Structure 1
Amino acid sequence: MTRSKAQPMAFGPGGPLVGAASVPGDKSISHRALMLAAMAVGRSRILGLSDGGDVLSTVAALQAMGVRIARRGDGWEVDGVGAGGLLQPRGALDMGNSGTSTRLLMGLIASHPVTATFIGDASLARRPMDRVIAPLRRIGADIAAAPGGRLPLTLRGLSPAAPADFRLSVASAQVKSALLLAGLNMPGVTRVIEPVPTRDHSERMLKAFGADIEVAEGTEGTGGERIISLTGEAQLSPRDVHVPGDPSSAAFLIVAALIVPGSEVRIEGVGVNPMRAGLFRLLEAMGADLTFSNRRESGGEPVADLVARHSPLRAVDVPPELVPAMIDEFPAFFIAAAFAKGTSRARGLAELRVKESDRIAAMAEGLGAIGAAVEEEGDGLTLHGSGGALPGGARIASRLDHRIAMSFAVAGLRCSEPVTVDDMTPVSTSFPGFAAALSGLHAS
């Protein structure tokens, strides 16, 4: 994949952030809406679909396998081909920077008589896929990957494939979702057992599209395990989906409002799924002034309008049970902690080592460069908050990671000297209008 020319950008103090902002549709839900609409028979309409590069990678891959997808007015139309209806793509599927597209599509294709080669950018090519490869091989998929279970990767699906029971060894919504997507075109029942519950977007949306799915919530007597059972050879029905605003994107605007004096920012229609709301709960524990109003459901997901006001934050130790509910939001949390009063600690974050970048190392390096006192310790960070402004004045390596880039853009707003992010182009994968949103709030 050819990279765009780097776009460095400086972010510095510019007064309070005030006004309303919007965020793209939830990226995780957008991927799932497209794939399940593709597996339905008939036309689905999706409103609020994320327009980031990651989701467009999913659109292109499904189109390459015979699914008609088109933008119509303020939404997208998907003419589903039904479970088992994917066609052989003529060329490699370019996933860009999207690990979610890659892992979920691997699951979807694994139970189809299709051979697909997955490629991606330099960042994606460094990320291991073994956690998905191993269980998909159990159902009969033939997978050949580059050393370390990395891209480029060729998957030869099997139909009919053999359903099985899968006990997840790591808490991963992507692995769970890949197995459930594979189960759609397999006879019998696919069971996924989660020792630790992860975000449940797939279960909610499968049910909404008419899949025969049962979820047994864990109890103390069962060790807290959560068991998801899906009956295959599914007959999904098309539906209209309204994707809620992405809480992972909203996190950066919220943290910006909390740390910049005099700020008050309103974001409408943000997804507040309990399994995604870990950062919101943690920020409130730090003393954040967050208001949630007009709670409602959209596309089977809980949604609310959110107002964030500048708040004197205090340090916090991240409870281990909260980690799965905020795994994508840790870069934003680290920025909040760097400006809080006191010492914050977060552990059990090994998953962050294998995201778009090594986010533990990237955040530790960048925070140190802008003058924060930070210690990198194995699977986490210790941050000694400043309780006020930091010096800034550094140039930050984004490492092709959209969340690293947005994190230090936000940090620059509360530094004495501007912070330069070496490349803001990765932000287009999830929040193409991010810089404009910040600028608009300053101009309010």
Structure 2
Amino acid sequence: MDVLVTPTPNLQGEIQALSSKNYTTRYLLVAALAEGTSTIYYPAHSEDSDAMRRCIRDLGAIIEEDEEKITITGFGRHPKDVKELDVGNAGAVLRFLMAIAALCPDVTFINRYPDSLGKRPHDDLIDALGQIGVSVEHNQGRLPITIRGGQPKGGIIKVSGSVSSQYLSALLFLTPLLEEDSEIQVVNDLKSKVVVGQTLEVLAQAGIRIEASEDLMHYRISGRQQYAAKKYIVQGDYPGSAAILAAAAVTNSDVTLHRLEENSKQGERAIIDVLRLMEVPLTHQDGVVRVQGNGRLKAVEFDGDKATDAVLAMVAAAVFAEGTSRFYDVENLRYKECDRITDYLNELRKAGANVEERQSEIIVHGRPEGVEGGVEINAHYDHRVIMALTVVGLRAKQPLRIRDAHHVAKSYPIFFDHLQALGANVEWVE
């Protein structure tokens, strides 16, 4: 379905931030890898986290859930022998489970989204799995992918982090379960180091011991470890909240978001700092963010690798800033659900924004007077693009129609409900 975003000058109200998708998927996985019963409070509900639920259940985890929590009895180092797994359109879930599937004899990950996840490469992880004795059949690094494992071995593993940190995270989940000790060396570069920090945080909470170098490029992992059954509490989600905060920043607003921890390890927490640099009036105290926007913003420069999933929302705010903004070190945006540089900027131009791209940069020449809008734009099946384009539509002069906006459910199923609760004029259209 499409969404029609009609210009909305004022937003007001209070909402609870969604639970973090990144933490939920990681807690679900470590709970499944434990022998015993774990409890996860306030888990996220999105297509990605639902994909992880579905797959760990297929692999043998026993799951019970109510409105507040989910309990999981794990399969430990002995997942069930399954022939197929369906991760939907969830790239992180695919990559984490490609590693865990190395404990199974023969698993095929099917391709249900050929125009999105089906286009994304996974060569670096495939190469790393080969180093520990896992045979992988694939379509030039893409889905469908068949993992033939059963007896992966430890040892020295070299993995590139230049495309995604998810390959490294996948290996960090697997290697503690192997019989031999392992040493992981990251080569070339490591994108999204902050997200690796989230993985290490969750592993430590699950009782796993990993020695990591200060630059996160080298790891020593003892084998024969066991994941502990624990209780986890999922914090609020900064990546999804970034779009809500950007929407408040570009309008006349008084918007309050709850459950956003000040000391969170989520890199997208930087949305708060960036909006402050843009001189947006806001406060952040005791997990509560209050934005009292006046629609006036200043241009900013920002290293986007530190907050990958908030960059598109930052760019949307910069569309209306005074001056030229620059977001650099963002090449890994090209390897997401779509090319989040070229595809996104093409749609912004349709709406009337003045933007430029480099291989790893986004340049935004702000238009404080607003953009024209009045067009139909394509979100390329990408939840982050949908949310960011919605922010632009709220400040456009004429309505924007966003095609296939239902794909926002990948991470934030009630995004438009939350915007409507704040007074935004957004409606579903056939």
CA deviation after TM superposition for structure 1 residue 421, in Å: 0.5
Q: Would you say 1:269 and 2:262 are equivalent positions?
A: no
Q: Which residue of 2 aligns with 1:3?
A: none
Question: 3-state SS of the aligned residue for 1:257?
Answer: helix
CA deviation after TM superposition for structure 1 residue 162, in Å: 2.3
Tell me which of 142, 150, 154 is aligned to 1:150.
142
Please identify, of 229-238 and 268-277, the stretch whose mean Cα deviation from structure 2 is larger.
268-277
Tell me which of 346, 360, 369 is aligned to 2:341.
360
Q: For the Cα contact (< 8 Å) 1:391–1:415, is it kept in 2?
A: yes
Matches of residues 23-422 of structure 1 in structure 2 within 5 Å? Answer: 23-82=17-76, 84-90=77-83, 92-110=84-102, 112-119=103-110, 120-122=112-114, 123-147=116-140, 149-166=141-158, 168-170=160-162, 172-193=164-185, 196=190, 197-199=193-195, 200-218=197-215, 226-261=217-252, 263-271=253-261, 272-273=264-265, 275-294=267-286, 304-311=287-294, 312-318=296-302, 322-422=303-403
Q: For the Cα contact (< 8 Å) 2:161–2:167, is it kept in 1?
A: no
Q: For the Cα contact (< 8 Å) 1:23–1:431, is it kept in 2?
A: no
Q: For the Cα contact (< 8 Å) 2:159–2:168, is it kept in 1?
A: no
CA deviation after TM superposition for structure 1 residue 401, in Å: 0.6
Distance 1:423 1:166 in 2: 39
CA deviation after TM superposition for structure 1 residue 174, in Å: 0.8
CA deviation after TM superposition for structure 1 residue 167, in Å: 5.4
Q: TM-score, normalised by structure 2?
A: 0.91
Structure 1, gaps ≥5 residues long: 1-6, 219-224, 295-303
CA deviation after TM superposition for structure 1 residue 214, in Å: 2.6
What letter matches 1:305 in structure 2?
V
CA deviation after TM superposition for structure 1 residue 169, in Å: 4.2
Give deviations 1:268-310, integer Å, cap 9, x for gaps.
112532634333322222223232211xxxxxxxxx3222221
Distance 1:256 1:14 in 2: 10
Give deviations 1:164-214, integer Å, cap 9, x for gaps.
243544273311211111202212333334565332111111111111223
Question: 3-state SS of the aligned residue for 2:385?
Answer: helix
Give deviations 1:127-184, integer Å, cap 9, x for gaps.
111121111111111111112x111111112424223243544273311211111202
Inter-CA distance 229–267: structure 2 relative to 1 (3 Å threshold): farther
CA deviation after TM superposition for structure 1 residue 126, in Å: 0.8
Question: 3-state SS of the aligned residue for 2:341?
Answer: helix
CA deviation after TM superposition for structure 1 residue 345, in Å: 1.8
Inter-CA distance 144–72: structure 2 relative to 1 (3 Å threshold): same
Give deviations 1:316-336, integer Å, cap 9, x for gaps.
222xxx332211112111101
Question: 3-state SS of the aligned residue for 2:257?
Answer: strand
Distance 1:71 1:424 in 2: 28
CA deviation after TM superposition for structure 1 residue 430, in Å: 0.5
Question: 3-state SS of the aligned residue for 1:58?
Answer: helix
Question: 3-state SS of the aligned residue for 2:39?
Answer: strand
Give deviations 1:95-138, integer Å, cap 9, x for gaps.
1110010011112222x133211123121101111121111111
Q: Which residue of 2 aligns with 1:14?
A: 8
What is the root-mean-square deviation of aligned Cα atoms in Å? 1.9
Q: Report how many aligned residue pairs link the two structures.
A: 415
Question: 3-state SS of the aligned residue for 2:219?
Answer: strand
What letter matches 1:229 in structure 2?
R
Question: 3-state SS of the aligned residue for 1:267?
Answer: strand
Please identify, of 47-56 and 169-178, the stretch whose mean Cα deviation from structure 2 is larger.
169-178
Question: 3-state SS of the aligned residue for 1:359?
Answer: coil
CA deviation after TM superposition for structure 1 residue 26, in Å: 0.9
Inter-CA distance 174–93: structure 2 relative to 1 (3 Å threshold): same
- Sequence identity percentage: 29
Q: For the Cα contact (< 8 Å) 2:212–2:220, is it kept in 1?
A: yes
CA deviation after TM superposition for structure 1 residue 246, in Å: 1.1
CA deviation after TM superposition for structure 1 residue 349, in Å: 2.0
Distance 1:337 1:14 in 2: 18
Q: For the Cα contact (< 8 Å) 1:172–1:198, is it kept in 2?
A: no
Question: 3-state SS of the aligned residue for 1:205?
Answer: helix
Structure 2, gaps ≥5 residues long: 426-430
Distance 2:223 2:268 in 1: 27
Q: TM-score, normalised by structure 1?
A: 0.89
Distance 1:347 1:276 in 2: 15
Q: For the Cα contact (< 8 Å) 2:182–2:221, is it kept in 1?
A: yes
